[in-house]
């Protein structure tokens, strides 16, 4: 039997014969071909050709302790020997829920699902059931997974986004029904006056205002205390819910980004890092709202299940990961990330390039503009900007052996040290210098 060539290009050629586009998720696609992992440990990934890279993407923010953490691996291995999924409950689910409710003051009841998308979907449906209203409101440009109602206007652009006073509801996927668009109200993130004016127009129909408190696709800058308080007050006055998508941002503080605000959400969707490297999602919040999911009710208002929801592998891995991500670990990781930001800002000054950096907690994002953006429209990447971001990321990946997220963002893990931070800032400095002429021409045009 002929040996199969172990090169990234060869594996991709095989993949194109069996997978649409050669991939199962577009995130990993890159030209001329994706790269394939042989092994990973801590913050290092080695591909099948033997090239080792430092991972600052951590599977799109889902690996808070990096790869193959020994405590998680041991716990999961023990569980695998006992079984992986049953038509019965497991204590693993209960123990994990107890931990999450203990660390988050706004959580009274929980439900586990299988992804962040599913968590947001369940949260929106729960909000509709509880309020008996049809519409949701979400920020222009914000990513909340792939549920029809959650993804509206996440890719709005200057040709279709309309007036900032009343942004358009735009489809992401061709064929999305007009009825879906009609039931999603779009507001400009962090813009209190315009947002309240928009919400007031639909006050009798809005079930919930959906907020990612540090929305990555919008620009990865935090919601202001004033904005969150204004939304909270509006929802109290209009029998609506304020719900948070903390699928990414739960890492910011011990109890999520919501710990930063004086008012708290009614419901919170989570995912990514709370799975300890395995698929998971969760919905948590007020007991009276979560009651609509209760099968003990006289009328089952929101039938909810899922074949792999709360499976013991994901809940075991997640519990161990979150127990390890204690107060001390959160503060230490945030401090390391802050050091990285300062070093990259110094690299920006040395290279004399028009780049700014924003973020929160253990995550940040580069913007190819001198001033930090404060809105989705300010942060919007033109074709030219996106091209330069891709050049920078390709340089980092291929020449510096550093992996970043495709927007120019980094999501840190506890496995990172000052050594890797130095490599990151030095690599970016080299990349900035290389792209400096193009960056300055870009600023001259825009």
By annotation, the residues acting in catalysis are 143, 245, 272
**Could you tell me the two tokens for 420?**
């890797």
Q: What is the SS3 assignment for 84-133?
A: CCCCCCCHHHHHHHHHHHHHCCCCCEEEEECCHHHHHHHHHHHHHHHHCC
The Cα–Cα gap between 177 and 283 comes to: 26
**Phi/psi of residue 329, each to 5°?**
-65, -40
Residue pair 291/297 in contact by the 8 Å Cβ criterion? yes
Kindly tell me the burial class for residue 426, based on how many C-beta atoms sit within 10 Å of its own C-beta (0-12, 13-18, 19 or more): middle
Return the bridge partners of 184, or none.
136
Widest distance between CA atoms in the chain: 72
How big is the CA angle at 78 (ends 75 and 82), to the nearest 5 degrees?
A: 135
The Cα–Cα gap between 358 and 409 comes to: 9
Kindly tell me the burial class for residue 129, based on how many C-beta atoms sit within 10 Å of its own C-beta (0-12, 13-18, 19 or more): middle
Return the bridge partners of 269, or none.
245, 283
**Could you tell me the two tokens for 409?**
């963002």
Angle between the 418-445 and 327-351 helix axes, to the nearest 10 degrees?
A: 40
Half-sphere exposure of 286 (CA within 13 A, CB side): 14
Residue of 332, 335, 415 whose CA lies nearest to 71: 415
The Cα–Cα gap between 192 and 189 comes to: 8
Helix, strand, coil percent values for the chain (each to nearest 5): 45, 15, 40
């Amino acid at each position: 039997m002929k040996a199969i060539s172990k090169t990234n290009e060869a594996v991709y050629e095989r993949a194109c014969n069996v997978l649409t586009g050669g991939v199962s998720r577009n995130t990993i696609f890159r030209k001329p071909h994706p790269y394939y992992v042989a092994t990973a440990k801590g913050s290092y990934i080695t591909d099948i050709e033997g090239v080792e890279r430092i991972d600052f993407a951590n599977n799109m923010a889902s690996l808070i302790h990096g790869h193959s953490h020994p405590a998680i691996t041991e716990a999961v291995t023990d569980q695998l020997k006992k079984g992986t999924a049953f038509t019965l409950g497991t204590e693993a689910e209960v123990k994990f829920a107890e931990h999450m409710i203990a660390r988050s003051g706004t959580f009274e009841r929980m439900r586990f699902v299988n992804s962040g998308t599913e968590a947001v979907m369940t949260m929106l449906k729960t909000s509709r059931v509880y309020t008996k209203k049809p519409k949701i409101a979400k920020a222009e440009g914000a990513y909340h997974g792939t549920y029809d109602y959650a993804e509206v206007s996440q890719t709005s652009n200057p040709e279709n986004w309309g007036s900032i006073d009343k942004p358009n509801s735009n489809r992401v996927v061709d064929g999305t029904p007009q009825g879906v668009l009609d039931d999603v109200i779009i507001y400009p993130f962090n813009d209190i006056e315009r947002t309240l004016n928009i919400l007031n127009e639909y006050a009798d129909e809005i079930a919930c205002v959906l907020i990612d408190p540090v929305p990555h696709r919008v620009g990865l800058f935090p919601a202001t205390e004033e904005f969150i308080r204004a939304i909270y007050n509006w929802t109290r006055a209009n029998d609506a819910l304020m719900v948070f998508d903390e699928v990414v941002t739960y890492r910011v503080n011990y109890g999520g980004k919501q710990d930063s605000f004086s008012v708290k959400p009614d419901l919170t969707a989570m995912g990514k890092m709370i799975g300890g490297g395995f698929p998971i999602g969760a919905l948590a919040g007020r007991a009276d709202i979560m009651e609509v999911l209760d099968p003990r009710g006289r009328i089952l208002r929101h039938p909810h299940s899922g074949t792999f929801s709360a499976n013991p592998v994901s809940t075991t891995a997640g519990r161990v990961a979150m127990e390890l991500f204690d107060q001390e670990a959160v503060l230490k990781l945030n401090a390391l990330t802050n050091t990285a930001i300062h070093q990259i800002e110094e690299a920006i000054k040395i290279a004399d390039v028009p780049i700014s950096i924003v973020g929160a907690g253990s995550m940040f994002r580069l913007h190819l503009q001198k001033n930090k953006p404060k809105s989705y429209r300010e942060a919007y990447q033109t074709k030219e900007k996106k091209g330069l971001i891709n050049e920078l990321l390709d340089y980092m990946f291929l020449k510096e052996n550093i992996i970043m997220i495709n927007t120019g963002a980094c999501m840190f893990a506890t496995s990172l040290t000052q050594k890797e931070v130095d490599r990151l800032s030095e690599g970016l400095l080299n990349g900035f210098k290389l792209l400096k002429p193009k960056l300055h021409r870009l600023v001259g045009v825009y």
